[in-house]
Amino acid sequence: MTSIDFDVRTVPQRIAAWLKLKLHAVRRCTPAALFLRAAAALAALSAMVLALPLNSVDGFRVVAAAVIVFLPAAAVGVLPRSRWVTLYAMAVVGVWVVSSVGFGEPAGLGRVTLLAASLYVMHRAATFAAVLPTDAVVAPGVMGRWLRRTVATTAAGLTVGVGSLAVVRLLPEARSAVGPIVGSLVAVGLVALLVWLLMRRR
C-alpha cells in the first residue's frame, strides 16, 4: 500500500474527525461567542441580499439567491479567523458593482446606508469572534460595551457619510476638475491612514 492510497482512504475518517471536533466546539460554545458568530453571519447575509439586484429579478429568484448565499454567509460566523471574511466582503462589493452597472440597479441612499452598516457589523463581529475562544466566559458588561461602541461607531460613520452625500446632491452640477482631485486626495489619505494603522499594530 502506497502513501497516496493511504491518504485517499483516510480522507473520510479525517473529515469525520474534523466534523466531530467542530460539533464538540459548538457544544462548548458560550452565549457570548455564539452571539458574535451569529451576528457576523446575519450581517454577512443581509449585506449580500442588499447587494443583489432586487429590482431587476422576480421574487422567486431573489429567494433562491438568498438560500444559495446562506451557506457562504454562515461560513463567516463559523470561520471568523480565516480569510473567508475578507473574500466575502470583496464578493459583496463585486456583486453590488455588477448590480449597479450591469443591471442598472438604483443606488438609493437608504440601501447604500444599510449595506455599509451590514459590512461594518460583519467585520466588527467577526474580528471580536476571531480572538474570543468559543468556550470563553464573558461578563455581560463586556458585551454591553461592545454593543454600545458598535452602535455609536456605526451611527457616527453613517451620519458623516450620508450627510456628505446629501450635501453633494444639493450642489449644482458643474464640470470641474476640483472634485476628482479632492476625491483622489481623500482616497490617498485613507490608504495612508490604513497603512499607518496596520504598521502600528505590528
Lowest-confidence region among 23-37, 93-107, 171-185: 171-185
Tell me the average pLDDT across 129-155.
84
The pLDDT mean for the chain works out to 76
Q: Which pLDDT does position 21 carry in this prediction?
A: 72
Which pTM value belongs to this model? 0.70
Q: Which pLDDT does position 111 carry in this prediction?
A: 82
User: In this model, does residue 1 exceed pLDDT 60?
Assistant: no
Beta-carbon contacts of residue 54 (< 8 Å; ≥ 6 apart): 62, 105
Rounded CA-CA distance 73/88 in Å is 8
pLDDT, tens only, 48-85 = 988 888 766 666 666 777 778 888 998 898 888 888 99
Rounded CA-CA distance 34/142 in Å is 15
User: In this model, does residue 126 exceed pLDDT 80?
Assistant: yes
Rounded CA-CA distance 77/121 in Å is 12
